[in-house]
Homo-oligomer: A and B are copies of this chain.
Amino acid sequence: MDELRIIEVKKSVYANNDKEAGENRALLKQQDTFMMNLMSSPGSGKTTMLVSTLTRLKEHVDIGIIEADIDSDVDAKTIQKTDVDVIQIHNGGMCHLDAAMVRQGLDDIKSQALDFVVVENIGNLICPASYDLGQNLNCMILSVPEGSDKPLKYPKMFTAVDVLIISKTDALSIFDFDFEALEESVRKLNPAIKIFPISAKTGDGMDAWCDYLLKKIQERSTQ
């Protein structure tokens, strides 16, 4: 059966990936660098949230961004405007980043001199959830227009992350989005998850999110 063969191959890829993710983790610890893996659907506002976050954090810590994209560089160019170092990975059409691609990014961006590295993953709620990159923090964004039923439909992603950012809360007035139902279904999958509602457009919620993140980065050596 085709399906079975795909699963076998994925297992073998995952095994190598886990080894390489472990090597990334050891490298980051040795360098005293904190790495966040940022995942979401296409168009949920990863780059906009990131620009808003970098603007607030760049006075406090040295930051580098690894931008993944299939073959464009629009997000990397947007990030460049914040004067934070950024490199672009073109992964040639693959639906996720793996640990080896991220290692290449860490080397290219000279992560040994950085306090904080963000990996902006490929826009996809499925495949990236299965690839450990060696990150210290796994973070996903769900935007209000996507709807509050998404944990039921993409359970692996909501289970894999430490932080869930609910973005575009300025659009709550025109979309049906049930915060209580969302929180209930997310906590069933992942009781320890941290949830931050934000609007990068109005700034609402950005202080709470950035305070949390900065504390995590600053406490990295004690973790």
Contacts and interface: CB of A to CB of B under 8 A. Distances in A.
A70 B171 CA distance: 28
A126 B93 contact: yes
Interface stretch (A30-38, A50-58, A141-149): A141-149
A41 interface: yes
Bin chain A's interface residue count: 35 or more
A108 interface: no
Interface stretch (A80-88, A150-158, A190-198, A207-215): A150-158
Contacts of A152: 72, 74
A149 B42 CA distance: 10
A16 interface: yes
Interface string A99-141: 0100000000000000000000011111100000000000000
Contact of A153 (B123, B149, B171): B123
Contacts of A127: 95, 124, 126-127
A92 B156 CA distance: 11
Contact of A156 (B12, B43, B93, B146): B93
Contacts of A12: 5
Contacts of A69: 153
Interface of A: 2-3, 5-6, 9, 12-13, 16-17, 41-44, 69-72, 74-75, 92-95, 98, 100, 122-127, 143, 145-147, 149-150, 152-156, 168, 170-171, 174-175
